[in-house]
Every structure is written in structure tokens, then in C-alpha cells.
Amino acid sequence: MTRKPAVAGQFYTSDALRLRAQIETLSRVNGPKKKVKGIISPHAGYVYSGAVSGEVYGRIEIPATALILGPNHHGFGPLAAVSRKEEWMTPLGSVPVNARLAERVLRNSPLLKEDMAAHQYEHSIEVQVPFLQVARPDISIVPICLGMMDFESCRNLGISLAKSIREYGEEVLIVASSDMSHYEPDEVARQKDEMALREIVALNPAGLYSVVVSRDITMCGVIPTAVMLTAALELGATKCELIRYATSGEVSGDYRQVVGYAGVTVE
């Protein structure tokens, strides 16, 4: 079974040649690539957030498997949904779902359910896939779509994902797909996002969850990010780096209502 792209031609071009050239340009970063356990990458249209995503993907060594955590913007399906479709299509071709790792994450976390309804129209995971395809043509993925949950559930899920990756026995990149503040004046968005990013860089998923809730920070991927940070810590992460921050105002010229984008690596 195949999951067809939902936002090709909207969030990114549906023309394969143009898409590959765009991603290669966005991901062209000088210097050696580093091994990481996880990243945060935004999921807006490439014209707005592609440069932030590209700088992150261009700086890292990408293993043959990526576990992609994305927020559920539409509310379809269960709270935590794993796609078991055999492949995901993009204009660049098909990407297989890694059944061996998917089976382990389903077995190790009672919160996770096999479901495609949550994934059918969701863009947050889809927009990460072309970047992975260009950087690593043999990539396989495990897509997990997450709704809003309490921090204890985030923590338990992160621990179970780390256990699944250890059992899998091969390197896995954990991708947390998230934008930052939404539709705030640029100055306000930057102030709020700085509070969230301070907790992220400190490798403090509980602190991130708390500050996002208490300060009304509209970071849509706070759940995927908290889960990714928890899993990375369980796998031995000791360092987190903010690679790039930007807002949509830098592209649109409208700084009255912006969306923030952050690219982060965890190693």
C-alpha cells in the first residue's frame, strides 16, 4: 500500500527536477557533517522554512533509517498513530516504511496505534521526507503522528522509542517536525521562542513542555520535540545546538504576524 503526497505542489514543488535542485541548494553547507541522535526541523512551505531545514539536514550524517515525529494538525485518528503503509510517495519517488522498527515501536508503547487516518492529509511529516531522500537515497522511515498529550505520556513514549531503537540495533535519526510561534508580531514571536529554545538547548523536555503551556507559546510540535528529546537523552545525548532561527517575516516582509522556525541538532 502507498501513501500518496498530500501537499506536493503546495508546500513544495511537485516537479521532481526542481524539487531536487531546490533541496540540494538549501542543504549546501560547508564543513564536516556530524552524527546526531535527533533534530528539530520546521514544516512550513519551503519558501518560508526550507532554508532552516536545509541547514540542519546539510550539517548531519543521515543514517539509513529515520523515525519522524510530527504533530497532528487535523485531529484525525488516534492520539499517537504509526503509519504501516509499505511506502510513502513524494515527487522524488517512493520511501519504504521500515517494518522492523515500526513493529518494535508498536510493541513497546501501548500509546501507539497503527493508523493511517492521522497521516492521510498531515503535512508535518511529509515535508521532511524529500530532504531525507536527497541526502540519503536509501532512506527508510517510521512516521508517527502525535496529538496533544500530557508530559508523562511524552516521557513514556520517548523512553519506549529509545528502547525500540536499541532493540533495532542500527543507527536511527529521530526527526521532530515543528514550527515555533504562530501569528505573533515578530518581536513577540522571537521573545517567546527564545524561552522555548532555552529549554530545548538545555535538553530539558519537561521544562520545554512547562514553558510552552505556561507562556502560551504556539509551538505546534512541542509534543514531538519533547518525545524526541526524551528519547535522545535515553540514548545518551549530551549536547543540543540551535543551528538557525528565522521567522516568516524575513521572507514575506510582513513582520506584524509571523511564524517562527528553528533548526536544532541533538548529539
Residue numbers of the domain that contains 220: 2-266
H/E stretch holding 267 reads none
Q: Which residue's C-alpha cell is 503535512? A: 123
The pLDDT tens digits of the residues spanning 182-200 come to: 999 999 999 999 999 999 9
pTM of the model: 0.97
Q: How far apart are CA 157 and CA 15, in angstroms?
A: 37
Look over the chain and give the mean of its residue pLDDT values, rounded to a whole number: 97
| Interval 212-229: pLDDT, tens | 999 999 999 999 999 999
Looking at the 3D structure of the chain, how many domains does it have?
A: 1
What's 56's domain CATH number?
3.40.830.10
- Distance from C-alpha of 177 to C-alpha of 44, rounded to nearest angstrom: 10
Q: Encode pLDDT of 24-60 as tens digits.
A: 999 999 889 999 999 999 999 999 999 999 999 999 9
Burial class of residue 187 in the structure, from the number of CB atoms within 10 Å of its CB (0-12 exposed, 13-18 middle, 19+ buried) = exposed
The pLDDT confidence band at residue 21, using thresholds 50, 70 and 90, is very high
